[in-house]
Structure 1
Amino acid sequence: KSFPDQVSNKLRGIPTYRITMDAHIQNIGWASNYRLGQVVGTEGIKSRLEAYRINSNPYTASITYRSHVQKIGWQNYVHTNDISGTTGRSLRLEALQINIGSNIGGKVYYRCHLEQIGWTDWHGNNAVCGTVGQHRRLEAFVLTILLF
């Protein structure tokens, strides 16, 4: 049985992973334990997402991700349980990319909520979600994983 916050493929000998996310939000700070399928961040209050972290237990789930940050541009990819974005600098995320490794046995899908645009379409493994060069804040995202 598979739950929204777990990725399991025991028939293929792949372990079960518990995936959660944390987000650093303007005027709020860190908000924790978002699950797959939940809105990470805020809608309708014009608050920028400044950083996020994708957590996995066990740590061995291979998820990499990076952010396009105001005044910085694209950051390097980070791995599961690491922070992407900035804290304490009041800089907005503008876009993100997320990729999962073959050890999970599926494909990641995500969509973003953007300033003056609203929700984007769904994006797959490593696609750019958000805007680059338009100076729009990324306010929230939703992440889900489809198993093969």
Structure 2
Amino acid sequence: MKVEGIGAYAETVEKNFTIMTTVSYRTQVQDYGWEKSYTENGSISGTVGKNKRLETIQIKVGGDTNLGIKYRTHVQDYGWLNWVKNGEISGMAGCGKRLEALQIIVVEKGAKINTSLGGIKSVICN
């Protein structure tokens, strides 16, 4: 089984008042390349029923300027990649390797997370 499309969303964040938080993302899809625009809040990014793999993803959070997002992908034959943040690329674009899993953490900007789990740097193959 391969990941062909992905959707994500964030619940409303409550502090002293409610701020609507959005999670936006775009993917790089086998044979199609990068999607032109970001999708958000649960809408599908990628393809459905075309049997094309997701190879790379970018994710960002909006609505609350105090929030950031950190994420990493598990890539076919490579395992877990290093953590990236706020719109950085995670995956192996153009390498013919599929995304197999995704971990996402919404955090306060500047917050540290446990990155001791390791990983390797994302790359773009030619």
Shorter-chain TM-score above 0.5: yes
Assess if the C-alpha contact under 8 Å between 2:72 and 2:90 holds in 1. yes
Which amino acid in the other structure matches residue 131 of structure 1? M
In 2, Cα distance between equivalents of 1:104 and 1:81? 21
Question: What pairs up with 1:75-90 in 2 under 5 angstroms?
Answer: 75=35, 76-90=37-51
Alignment partner of 1:66 is 2:26: yes
From 37, 50, 55, the equivalent of 2:4 is 50
Tell me how far 1:57 sits from its aligned partner.
Answer: 3.6
Q: Which runs of 5+ in 2 are unaligned?
A: 13-19, 110-126
Give the secondary-structure state (helix, strand or coil) at the position aligned to 2:21.
coil
1:147 partnered with 2:108 = yes
TM-score (norm 1): 0.64
Structure 1: unaligned runs, 5 residues or longer: 1-25, 27-47
Structure 2 counterpart of 1:43: none
* Among candidates 128, 131, 136, match of residue 92 of structure 2: 131
Displacement after TM superposition at 1:55 (Å): 2.3
Q: Distance in 1 between matches of 2:49 and 2:65?
A: 33
Q: Residue 105 of structure 1 is aligned with which of 66, 80, 96? A: 66
Q: How many equivalent pairs are there?
A: 102
Partners in 2 of 1:106 and 1:98 — Cα distance?
A: 13
CA contact (8 A) 1:61 1:80 kept: no
User: Residue 6 of structure 2 aligns to which amino acid in structure 1?
Assistant: Y
Alpha carbons of 1:104 and 1:54: their partners in 2 closer, same or farther (altered >3 Å)?
Answer: farther
Moved over 6 A (4+): none
SS of equivalent residue, structure 2 residue 7: strand
After superposition, what is the alpha-carbon deviation per residue over 1:19-72, rounded to whole angstroms, capped at 9, x for unaligned? xxxxxxx3xxxxxxxxxxxxxxxxxxxxx21111112344x3222100000010
Task: Tell me which protein shows more strand as a share of its residues.
Answer: 1
TM-score when normalising by structure 2: 0.74
SS class of match (1:113): strand
Taking the aligned partners of 2:96 and 2:5, their CA distance within structure 1 comes to 16
